[in-house]
Amino acid sequence: MALITTVTLNAAIDKTYYMEKFPLGKVSRVSTMISVPGGKGINVARVAHQLGGEVLASGFVGGSNGAYIVKELDKSGISSDFVEVEGESRLCLNMIDQSESTSTELLEPGPVITGEQIAEMKAKIGLLAAKSAIVAFSGSLPKGAPASLYAELIGIAKAAGAQAFLDTSGDALLEGVRAQPYFIKPNEDEVEKLIGRRLEQESDVYSAIGQLMEQGIGCVVVTLGAGGSVAGYGGRLYRVRAPRIEAVNPVGSGDSFVAGMAVATAAGRTFDQAIRLATACGTANALNVQAGDVRQDDVERLLEQVQVDLIS
Ligand code: TA6
């Protein structure tokens, strides 16, 4: 099976707190707490592993939190090869108010990365990419990393023969697309920044995707939340509708989408099969209490309900 390497430059411990109510300025008692390795790329690794993909998790980790992340990944059967840094890997908190069905996230900044550690990461990506079908870069950049870092790492991964996936935002995305990753998954706000104009209607999304494909990005998926996505691949545009569900915790659905796309692509599936699996995984994740977690039976059931229509 073809290896998928995930890269989380700001790895985390994701803590999800379930509470009856989460009023600001008051004391709240937590009924359930879930603590797992997180950060977007690690979520991609976990879900790809649950789907039966061969995965390896890389990125930066630090301190006792970093050691916990590595140990927990190992316990769940996910190999890892991280660069260790000074300081503590961050905590990312998600407070779920069950009476209002709201989710409030607090994301710590994480450790500051040095030039030496960046050089170590570049060397590691070169080695890992040489044995990977896909290298998936996900999440925000840590402090100390230049906005161009994803672009540089994508260049290294591509030169070593791997396909690069990029799921990030802001300047890291703006710079990253210049390195022509194979796959990106921006939301509408991120697309507006990428193309430098506002999206007023759905047809503006179509032309934006066309523009990004012309820039050399093989597969562009613009997520529209629960409404599904618009996808561009091979010069064609598709409207993808996700199954309707009662969401328990949508955090990590984007990462689960990337995992589905990566597993199908690494297995040589068609684009149609890949976008269906990605959409089913994104939806299946929201059914679970934990972020970045899918059940095979949910994925299989939801796959039947994903709708893909050719737009042009
Ligand atoms: O996508 C959800 C999530 O992966 C959380 O698990 C949390 O760790 C967070 O995103 C981190 O996002 P960031 O973009 O800061 O890396």
Give the number of the atom of ligand 1 that is nearest the alpha carbon of residue 292: 6
Is the CB of residue 256 below 6 angstroms from any atom belonging to ligand 1? no
- Average pLDDT score over residue span 57-74: 98
Task: Find all residues with CB under 8 Å of 128, minimum gap 6, and list them.
Answer: 5, 56, 58, 81, 135
Is the CB of residue 223 below 6 angstroms from any atom belonging to ligand 1? no
pLDDT in tens, 258-301: 999 999 999 999 999 999 999 999 999 999 999 999 999 999 99
Which among 124, 115, 123, 49 is positioned nearest to 82, based on CA atoms? Answer: 124
* Among protein residues, the one whose CA lies closest to atom 4 of ligand 1: 40
Give the number of the atom of ligand 1 that is nearest the alpha carbon of residue 39: 8
Q: What is the mean pLDDT of the chain?
A: 97
pLDDT for residue 225 is more than 80: no
Residue 1's pLDDT is 66
Planar angle of CA 23, 28, 30, nearest 5 degrees: 125
Is the CB of residue 151 below 6 angstroms from any atom belonging to ligand 1? no
pLDDT > 70 in the chain, percent: 100
What does the alpha-carbon distance between residue 293 and residue 48 come to, in Å, rounded to a whole number?
10
What does the alpha-carbon distance between residue 81 and residue 68 come to, in Å, rounded to a whole number?
14
pLDDT in tens, 82-134: 999 999 999 999 999 999 999 999 999 999 999 999 999 999 999 999 999 99
Residue 284's pLDDT is 98
Q: Which two structure tokens, joined as six digits, stand for 93?
A: 């908190």
249 backbone dihedrals φ, ψ, rounded to 5°:
-150, 100
Is the CB of residue 10 below 6 angstroms from any atom belonging to ligand 1? yes
pLDDT in tens, 184-219: 999 999 999 999 999 999 899 999 999 999 999 999
Residue 202's pLDDT is 87
Give the number of the atom of ligand 1 that is nearest the alpha carbon of residue 251: 2
CA 38 to centroid of ligand 1, rounded, Å: 7
Cα→Cα distances 40→10, 91, 298, Å: 9, 13, 21
Beta-ladder partners of 135:
5, 164
CA 194 to centroid of ligand 1, rounded, Å: 21
pLDDT for residue 224 is more than 90: no
Residue 211's pLDDT is 97
Residue 69's pLDDT is 98
pLDDT > 90 in the chain, percent: 97
Is the CB of residue 293 below 6 angstroms from any atom belonging to ligand 1? no
Q: Where are the strands (E) in 63-123, listed by range?
A: 79-85, 90-97, 102-107
* Among protein residues, the one whose CA lies closest to atom 9 of ligand 1: 39
Cα→Cα distances 306→204, 262, 277, 279, Å: 23, 18, 9, 7
- Average pLDDT score over residue span 35-53: 98
Is the CB of residue 255 below 6 angstroms from any atom belonging to ligand 1? yes
Helix axes 253-266, 40-50, angle to 10 degrees: 50
What totals of helices (H) and strands (E) does the chain contain, helices first? 10, 14
Is the CB of residue 254 below 6 angstroms from any atom belonging to ligand 1? yes
Instruction: Give the class (CATH, top level) of 3-310.
Output: alpha beta
Whether the CB-CB separation of 156 and 148 falls below 8 Å is answered with no
Is the CB of residue 43 below 6 angstroms from any atom belonging to ligand 1? yes
- Strand 102-107 vs strand 32-38: parallel, antiparallel, or unpaired? unpaired
What does the alpha-carbon distance between residue 86 and residue 84 come to, in Å, rounded to a whole number?
7
Is the CB of residue 139 below 6 angstroms from any atom belonging to ligand 1? yes
